[in-house]
Amino acid sequence: MKRKYEIGFLLNPESSDEEVKKITDTVVGIIEKAKGNVENIDEWGRRKLAYPIQKHKEGIYTFINTEVEGKVMLELERRLKLSESVIRFIVIRLDDKLKKANKLTKKWRKLEKITEKTKETMEKTGSDKKFDRKEEVKNEG
């Protein structure tokens, strides 16, 4: 069963552009071997870290969105752990909370319907009084 994942990893700032490409290619290669599809590759590039890691003050960020089987992640995590230029990495399942989130949209739709109805009724019953009053005040003044 295919699931949506997001992989993010932080690379050593001393690593060259070729090394960055190598690691992204290996990750993409592992995914494509398991017949998964890479949806998006987000390269942030060099960024300052919020706190120093292994005495590095900068890091190179890349994020990859994919849709693959979960078994692939074991091999992927092992590879990322072994490579020395990777400082930190994170793997997140994205479709985890979509069901709950969809419940929220139902709630919001109801709210929007109510607000629309109230607007319509306000228009029918002459909610323009507020504006009229202001104009009246102006006219009186």
Closest approach, Cβ 46 to other proteins, in A, equals 13
CB-CB contact of 24 with 14 (8 Å): no
Longest dimension (CA), the chain: 80
* Coil, strand or helix at 42: strand
Closest approach, Cβ 116 to other proteins, in A, equals 15
DSSP state of 43: E
Chain residues in the site for other proteins (CB under 8 A): 8, 10, 49-51, 53, 59, 61, 63, 88, 90, 92, 94, 97-98, 100-102, 104-105, 108
Closest approach, Cβ 47 to other proteins, in A, equals 8
Closest approach, Cβ 125 to other proteins, in A, equals 26
CB atoms within 10 A of CB 31: 22
- Give the separation between CA 109 and CA 140, rounded to whole angstroms: 43
The nearer residue to other proteins, 84 or 140, going by C-beta atoms, is: 84
The nearer residue to other proteins, 8 or 34, going by C-beta atoms, is: 8
The nearer residue to other proteins, 97 or 117, going by C-beta atoms, is: 97
- Give the separation between CA 59 and CA 79, rounded to whole angstroms: 19
> Exposed/middle/buried for 10, CB within 10 Å: 0-12, 13-18, 19+?
buried
Closest approach, Cβ 122 to other proteins, in A, equals 21
The nearer residue to other proteins, 92 or 114, going by C-beta atoms, is: 92
The nearer residue to other proteins, 94 or 114, going by C-beta atoms, is: 94
